Amino acid sequence: MEKQQKIVSMFDEIAPTYDRANRVMSMGVDRSWRQKGCDKAFEFYDQSKCDLIVDVACGTGDMMDFWDRRANALDIKVDKILGVDPSEGMVDVAKEKFRDFEFVISEATTLPLEDSVADMLSISYGIRNVIERKKALLEFNRVLKSGGMVVILEFMKNSNPSLLGKMRDLYMSRVLPRIGGFISKNLEAYEYLPNSIGEFLSVDDMVKELEEAGFRRLYSKSFSMDISTLIIAKKL
């Protein structure tokens, strides 16, 4: 677990500048990716009410905000949105931004929730940072209701990149670390991003792990030169 703690400590260090770095690096386009994830999940779930939406690796709370905004826009009643993250630094920033949301410090592998209580569970750009990923996916299945949705947004590995994919990889390996490092004064943290993508899963491999954990893929799509991928799966 030493590697996992090192990742958590890294996020503690960059928490104060995390939002600013993200907006600059993504040029704000990550907002459309998040909205798409929420809207498609609500479409597949097809319910007018949700008891609980859990955002794992919630960071500074942006995905929680999108769950709230899109539920209101679609006239879906949500009783509770819970943010879960092991980084106290990130959660401290989230609490300042979103005073009405509820947060808890926890690893993705040990969620402080009873069985079958959540309608939706999202993890945005966080599953790549979970060392015991298969254990986490089983935990996601445990806390979701039957028919509940897991929503994953992530930078996935492209095993056979096109020309545009190669341009993406060049941008993420050469340009993004310098931007993030300049804003955060922590180049090492932002060099971790492209390295972790290269060591991560392809979309097909991620879907296979979801199936092994008791989910069925409903939707997957990559956006913006395959920079970001959305996967939505249903608990069987």
Q: What is the pLDDT of residues 94-153, one digit of tens each?
A: 999 999 999 999 999 999 999 999 999 999 999 999 999 999 999 999 999 999 999 999
Please count the residues of the chain. 236
Percent of the chain with pLDDT over 70: 92
Range list of β-strands (E), 125-195: 144-154
- Give me the domains of the chain, ranges plus CATH numbers: 2-11+27-157+202-235 (3.40.50.150)
Residue 19 has what pLDDT?
78
Residue 16 has what pLDDT?
85
Q: What is the DSSP letter of 214?
A: T
Span of 17-21, 204-208, 227-231 with lowest mean pLDDT: 17-21
Confidence of residue 194 (pLDDT cuts 50, 70, 90): low
Q: What is the DSSP letter of 125?
A: S
Q: What is the pTM of this model?
A: 0.91
Cα separation, 80 vs 96, in Å, equals 18
Residue 119 has what pLDDT?
98
Residue 1 has what pLDDT?
63
With beta carbons less than 8 A apart as the criterion, state whether 93 and 65 touch.
Answer: no
Is residue 65 predicted with pLDDT exceeding 70? yes
With beta carbons less than 8 A apart as the criterion, state whether 187 and 181 touch.
Answer: yes
